[in-house]
A and B are shown apart, each in its own frame.
Chain A
Amino acid sequence: MRRTYAKFVSLALIACMAIVLAACGNSSSNNNDSTATGANDSKTGATANATNESTNDSTKDTASSADKPAEPVTLTLNAQYSAPDEKLSLDYAIAKIKEVLPNVTLEIQPANADDGTQKLKVQAATGDLPDIFGVTPEIIDLFNKSGDIVQLDGNPDIEDFKSKVSPGMIDSELMYKGHIYALPIFGSFSVVWYYNKDVFAANNVKVPTNYDELTAAVKAFTAKGIVPVAMFAKEPWPIGAYLDSFIMRTNPGSTSDFSNGVAKASDPGYKEGIEKAAALIKLGIFQKGATSTDYDSARAIFNSGKAAMLINGDWETPDGITAIGADKLGILNYYPGADAGKEDVNKYAMAGGGGVGGYALSAKTKDKALGMKVLALLAYYQGEGRYVKGGHTDVIIKTDGLTPENPLPEITKALAADQSNFIYKSNFNHSLPSAFSKPFGEYLQNLVAGQSADKFISDTDKLIASLKK
């Protein structure tokens, strides 16, 4: 009985081993196949390319395997996909990619509007990065060091994309430390002060052109229970841009100078700007609860007519027009932070800026050749969608031959006309090194929460000094 039992168990174990080994063998063979696919130019990509020769130049050299049907491929994409404007351009790009590569499906993982980089860092640490994701220079440095990002130089699809980029933007927006790590959609953004013409007219308030007029407008609106400026101070960058609106009118530099130790908050010009900004905060320029107000909520306050002004990037224009109408939405010609009579000083200095960033490819993506092809198509077509569908002029690609579906709004045209005069000496808080931007963002929130300008200046100076060590 015992022997029979032993034999039975032995046979069962041998059978299990055989099944396991067979499964391993099969898996290994699959791996080899997929490795070969990845190492050479992907069969799936090549097939898809060949079927779309007429629509994409980069497909011409890979038509040999067109007779074999392409296997379906799903790539994960971490991208901004919450505002209507973001959805419009990304949906456009995905539809275009589907035409070129019908076998490729892009699965969107919407990025957090507040701080998407945290999620990416966790995903990198757990080896779970999406195939394609949006990056900042800081993330490029971090992931390049850890080997989580693909260097894109030399790939024909990437070179093809590069040839479609406006020449003036290649060095400033595409190349980073001599290499290409990410493909951007847009160039420099301008942070502008939008205003609701109706709200100003209905309350008989003059649209401000200098600090005195702005102070008068803030007093007039707060007295009538209207929010002078809707602010989403849950994120630090709009507060930084607000501060820059004052600093840059008296000083060619900006808060970005603090991050690299070029200037201190207590330096002349900077200090006055901070004090002006803080004085208006005390007067109630922002709505109550600004530091817990997010992007969408602040826009809703402005769009509903409960706020007279909104500080945001110029990407807001199409959504703003949709919400309140082209005839009601205005942009202040320049920041109203200058003293009376000095309105023309530094009037083209703009908060915002741009720089390197955009979509990058994970080093762990299975088929890098296909990944780069999709990356190039995505960056190009999202830029095209942004211009054609959204009417944005801030795209990095050449727009010759492209026509926006709707005529460009007058305020966009006016902004675009001044574009060549604009001087960008600032940057978004989240684009600065995190060792500076995180604590500085917290100080900015403290300022909005009512902390004194002196405390803000002393905290910032201490931070600058600590980073110099």
Chain B
Amino acid sequence: MKHGMASRSAVLIFTLPAILLFTVFVMYPLAQTFYRSFFDWDGLTPGTFIFLDNFKEILHDPIFYTSLYNGLFFAVILTIFQFVLGSFLAFALYDHKIFGKKLLRISYFIPVILSVTVVCQLWMSIYSSQYGLLNKIFESIGISYRQDWLSDSHLAIFAVISVAGWQSMGFMFALIYTAIKSVPEHYFEAAKLEGATKFQIHTKITIPLLAETYRMCLMFSVVGGLNAYGQVVLMTNGGPGTSTATLTFAMFRSAYSLDRFGYGCATAVMLVLECLICILIINKLVARERITF
């Protein structure tokens, strides 16, 4: 009994700092955001309580729907980009015959450690309609496919997502590669003895055993896509017009450009709810059973 109490106290003592930090830096701002979403507030003066009016307005705001669509689109494309490329590279590098594995591993991960500002500046010059490398490449191989990459309302979102995917793909690659390495070698050896091809080994053994890792990667990429902001603001500032706006951008726009912090908080609440719903769905549908080796 005494042992149990002491154990509880120890748990409390050891978790208290983390709980306190989490409360101060996550729960309190989250609660404030929910509370402030019920106000007509400019961020500097006390504001007026208007209950659900901000939410009613959001539902009639065309930018909300554009942002919602862009966020979901961002999440889907980012997930496909990261999963397909990250998995392909991880599986390719797992092959013992590949030469220069260490160098390749490092080079795939380099974009992850670069600042988003540096990455965006780099890609903005690549995308430049006037002098950009991408248009020059098309020109040099004789294809007249010069595009207005960042100033075309339809193309700009693809251009921005590609940059986000390029930058974060290395992170997914690292997670998947590490997970493959953690699968016991004898599983593969047994499969080889049974005459399985590499493709069969990966589809029948590796990928099913990586289900939990893929679930985690899925959460990261979906939430990362829904929350996209840095690349959007640096490369297009939500434009042309609002064609590349995401919910995070719309929240910032309302708060800092229109001085409507209450409305911005309501947009943030919608974003939080959207992320929560996506995480609940992923947890409910993907890799529900715990995998042990």
Task: Give me the interface of A with B, judged by CB distance under 8 Å.
Answer: 114-115, 118, 121-122, 124-125, 142-143, 145-146, 148, 233-234, 287-292, 301, 306, 434-435, 438, 442-443, 445-446, 448-451
> Of the candidates B43, B128, B257, which one forms a contact with A289 in the assembled complex, judged by CB atoms under 8 Å apart?
B128
The complex places the Cα of A89 from the Cα of B215 at a distance, in Å, of 58
* Cβ distance B15 to chain A, nearest Cβ, rounded Å: 27
B259–A434 touching, CB < 8 Å: yes
A140 to chain B, nearest CB (A): 13
Q: Is the CB of A301 within 8 A of B151?
A: no
Say whether, besides A114-B237, A287-B130, A292 and B151 are in contact (CB < 8 Å). yes
B19 contacts the other chain (Cβ, under 8 Å)?
no
8 Å CB contact of B148 from A142, A146, A289, A451? A289
Q: How far apart sit A290 and B241, CA to CA, in the bound complex (Å)?
A: 12
The answer to whether B253 touches A288 (Cβ under 8 A) is no
Given contacts A292-B150, A438-B258, contact A445 B44 (CB under 8 A): no
| Chain B positions within 8 Å of A449 at CB level | 151-153, 239-241, 243
Q: List 16 A-B pairs, Cβ < 8 Å.
A: A115-B257, A125-B44, A142-B259, A145-B42, A145-B44, A145-B45, A146-B42, A146-B45, A234-B237, A291-B236, A292-B235, A434-B258, A434-B259, A438-B257, A442-B241, A443-B241
Given contacts A121-B259, A449-B241, 15 further A-B contacts (CB under 8 A): A142-B259, A143-B44, A146-B42, A146-B45, A288-B130, A288-B146, A288-B148, A289-B129, A438-B257, A438-B258, A442-B238, A442-B242, A443-B241, A445-B240, A449-B239
B257 touches A292 (CB 8 A): no
- Least CB distance from B162 to A in Å reads 15
Pairwise interchain contact B44-A289, C-beta atoms closer than 8 A: no
Give bound CA distance, A86 to B255, whole Å: 29
Interface residues in B143-159 by Cβ distance below 8 A to A read 146, 148-153
* Closest chain B CB from A181 CB (angstroms): 16
Complex formed: what's the CA distance from A451 to B242 in Å? 13
Q: In the bound complex, how far is the Cα of B124 from the Cα of A468, in angstroms?
A: 39
A118 lies within 8 A of B153 (CB): no
A118 and B129 CA atoms in complex are apart in Å by 28
Q: B256 contacts the other chain (Cβ, under 8 Å)?
A: yes
Minimal beta-carbon separation of A125 from chain B (angstroms): 5
- Are B43 and A446 closer than 8 Å at their CB atoms? no
Most buried by A among B130, B238, B240, B243: B240
Q: Measured between C-beta atoms, what is the minimum distance from B239 to chain A in Å?
A: 5
Interface of B is mostly: loop
Knowing A142-B42, A289-B128 are in contact, say whether A118-B240 is a contact too (CB < 8 A).
Answer: no
Cα–Cα, bound, A121→B257 (Å): 9
> In whole Å, how far is A326's beta carbon from the nearest beta carbon of chain B?
27
Tell me the minimal C-beta distance from A336 to chain B in angstroms. 24
Contact B43 A125 (CB under 8 A): yes
Q: How far is the CA of A118 from the CA of B259 in the complex (A)?
A: 9
Q: Which residues of B contact A292 (CB under 8 A)?
A: 124, 127, 150-151, 235-236, 239
Nearest CB in chain A: distance from B90 CB, A: 34
Contact A148 to B44, CB < 8 A, known contacts A291-B151, A438-B253, A446-B153: yes
Chain B interface residue count, CB cutoff 8 Å, equals 30
Instruction: Please name all residues of chain B whose beta carbon is closer than 8 Å to the beta carbon of A124 when the two chains form the complex.
Output: 44
- A434's partner among B146, B153, B242, B257 (CB-CB below 8 A) is B257
Chain A residues with Cβ below 8 Å from B150 are: 289, 291-292
Is the pair B241, A445 in contact by a Cβ cutoff of 8 Å? yes
Measured between C-beta atoms, what is the minimum distance from B108 to chain A in Å? 28
In the bound complex, residues from chain B placing their C-beta under 8 Å from that of A434 are: 257-259
Interface centre among A125, A292, A451 (most CB of B within 10 A): A292
B151 touches A290 (CB 8 A): yes
A363 and B128 CA atoms in complex are apart in Å by 44
Query: What residues of A have a CB within 8 angstroms of the CB of B128 in the complex?
Result: 289
Smallest Cβ-Cβ distance to B241: which chain A residue: A446
- Complex Cα distance, B148 from A370, in Å, reads 52
Instruction: Check if A450 sits within 8 Å of B153, measured CB to CB.
Output: yes
Q: Which residues of B contact A443 (CB under 8 A)?
A: 241
Distance between Cα atoms of A146 and B44 in the complex (Å): 6
Nearest CB in chain B to that of A143: its residue: B44
Please indicate the chain A residues that have their CB under 8 angstroms from the CB of B124 in the complex. Answer: 292
- CB neighbours of B44 from chain A (8 A): 121, 124-125, 142-143, 145-146, 148
> What is the chain A residue whose CB lies nearest that of B152?
A449
Among residues 113 to 155 in chain B, which have CB atoms less than 8 Å away from a CB atom of chain A? Answer: 124, 127-130, 146, 148-153
Q: Which residues of A contact B236 (CB under 8 A)?
A: 291-292
A373 to B108: give the CA distance in the assembly, Å: 57
Task: Give bound CA distance, A289 to B44, whole Å.
Answer: 37
Residue of A nearest to B43 (CB): A125
Among all A-B residue pairs, the 7 with the closest Cβ atoms: A289-B129, A146-B44, A288-B129, A449-B240, A446-B241, A292-B150, A291-B151
With A and B bound together, what is the CA distance between A403 and B241 in angstroms?
45
Q: Which residue of A lies closest to B260 (CB)?
A: A435
Bound complex: CA A449 to CA B148 (Å): 9
Kindly provide the distance from the CB of B40 to the nearest chain A CB, expressed in whole angstroms: 13
Cα of A63 to Cα of B124 in the assembled complex, Å = 57
The CA of A180 and the CA of B57, in the complex, are separated in Å by 37
B residues near A448, Cβ cutoff 8 Å: 151, 240
A287 — nearest CB in chain B belongs to which residue? Answer: B130
Could you tell me the distance between the alpha carbons of A289 and B131 in the complex, rounded to whole angstroms? 10
Q: Is the CB of A291 within 8 A of B257?
A: no
> Which residue of chain B has the shortest Cβ distance to A114 in the bound complex?
B237
* A187 CA to B235 CA, complexed, in Å: 33
Given A289-B149, A292-B151, A438-B257, are A121 and B237 also a contact pair (CB < 8 Å)? no
Q: How far is the CA of A352 from the CA of B234 in the complex (A)?
A: 27
Name the B residues within 8 Å of A114 (CB-CB). Answer: 237
Interchain CB contact (< 8 A) of A288 among B151, B153, B241: B151
A121→B44 CA distance, assembly (Å): 8
CB within 8 A of B240: which of A122, A125, A287, A291?
A291
Measured between beta carbons, the chain A residues less than 8 angstroms from B258 are: 434-435, 438
**Contacts of B239 on A, CB cut-off 8 Å?**
234, 291-292, 442, 445, 449
Beta-carbon contacts of B256-284 to A below 8 Å, as 1s and 0s? 11110000000000000000000000000
- By a CB distance below 8 angstroms, the chain B residues around A289 are 127-130, 148-151
CA of A142 to CA of B236, assembled, Å:
28
> Contacts of A438 on B, CB cut-off 8 Å?
253, 257-258
Instruction: Note all chain A residues with C-beta closer than 8 A to B238.
Output: 442
Question: Residues of B contacting A291 with CB < 8 Å?
Answer: 150-151, 236, 239-240
Min C-beta distance of A299 to chain B, whole Å? 13
Residue among A289, A435, A443 having the largest count of chain B Cβ atoms under 10 Å: A289
Specify which chain A residues have a CB less than 8 angstroms from the CB of B235 in the assembled complex. Answer: 292
Chain B residues with CB under 8 Å of A301's CB are: 130
